[in-house]
Amino acid sequence: MKNIKQTLITLCCLAVLFIICYFFNLQGSISPNNAALLKSEPDKSIQLEPKELFNETWSLIKTSYWDDELNEQNWSRWKKHYGDKIKTEEDAYIAINSMLASLNDPYSKFLNKNEFEEQNSTIDSKIYGIGVNIASAAGKIYVINVIKGAPADVGGIKAGDMILKINGNDVKGDNLFQAANYIKGSLNSLVEIEILRGNEKLTKKIKRAEIKIKTVEAEALTKDIGYIRIISFISSSTPIEFIEALNKLDDTKALILDLRGNTGGLFQNALFVANIFLDRGDIVRVIGRNGHNSAYVAENKDYVYDKPLAVLVDGESASASEIVSAALKDNNRALIIGTKTYGKGVVQKVYSMPNNMGLNLTIARYLTPSGRDINKKGIEPNYRVEITKADFENNNDSQLNFAKNILQNEIERSKIAAKEH
């Protein structure tokens, strides 16, 4: 077999070039959450007066939003409504986001300078936080992993802790997105977290720092079964990290791909990962403004991972995670295990705006290879396996164990079939 790493590096370069050249001939970025992002650099030389900034954004939305009816409204009413009321950048920021809210689209948002810088930093894997991975069960937020040496680790947060409050905000019943937003913040700022450990309530004050993370983790669970977890598709380094993970597990006979808690990321990263597992067939179909239809198909290549594959998903697996999961499910390439995914079937472009600001704007929706629209519906797994509160408390990953058993049985059947021949 050819060296996997060298082959996949070549594929990675080709995939990125393909996306940049082909996706609606767009320049800039495509966004998730978030959805699918290609990073864009702001033109810091362009500075506009607040009213001009509003007018330029108004025009961009009118001509580029995926729904040319703009949620069945007369878009001109926004110019009439704000008229000469916009005097400051803050006025423009509020007016533009109010205008976007009328689209009833939670993914289209205008970003001020700080928000845009934070988004671009995330693409570069520069995360400001405390270094924890969280999950939800029965409406409660749990810490499932603490990055060694990160502020949370130093501050005494442990895997299995239930988070009760973040900066005084009760997170019971909150989704992971909201809890994560409470935890995130500016560099060196403090976050106060109240946790429940056993029967003891503890309060920890932790200083946020830059968390140097890898978006891909890999290990051999047994001599036969490999495990790759993609934490996020948002980093530009994810394809290379994925290559390294596959190379590390070359000697295993089957693979578990864990996309649980993965809320999305770069569109081209989703295409790249799905393409590695498919030798033919559609990956995703993107429907743009005025019905413009683009199919992304698995490319011919020297290397395809063709061993048994299981994919773990949950209610926070969104966007890019759903593109990969649906492509593998619809092409009968993998068994999907876990719970129904989030249901985000739209794609955003990230525009660099004047005054160092940005705009995440929905420019398309996508369909799975079988033609399903998963937006607000999600993807049903082949095997529905819940993680219960007892599983968290006993550190039992029932979904992972189910996947291991499924793959081990498939490996044993293959061994028997090989002997018979």
Instruction: Please provide the distance, in angstroms rounded to a whole number, between the alpha carbons at the two ends of the chain.
Output: 23
Number of other residues whose CB lies within 10 A of the CB of residue 35 = 32
Place of tokens 């799905």: 274
Q: Is the dihedral of CA 290, 99, 112, 141 positive or negative?
A: negative
**Cβ neighbours, 10 Å, residue 162:** 20
Kindly report the three-state secondary structure assignment for every residue of 220-286.
ECCCCEEEEEECCECCCCHHHHHHHHHHHCCCCCEEEEECCCCCCECHHHHHHHHHHHCCCCEEEEE
The residue annotated as part of the active site, out of 39, 253, 329, 344, is: 344
Q: What angle do CA 146, 164, 259 make, to 5 degrees?
A: 45
Of 29, 64, 235, 319, the active-site residue reads 319
Indicate if 344 belongs to the active site. Answer: yes
- Bridge partners, 190 (sequence order): 207
**Considering 105, 258, 314, 330, which one is annotated as catalytic?**
330
201 assigned to active site: no
Rounded to whole angstroms, the Cα distance separating 44 from 352 reads 9
Q: Is residue 319 among the annotated active site residues?
A: yes
**Tell me, what DSSP letter sits at residue 378?**
-
Catalytic amino acids? 319, 330, 344
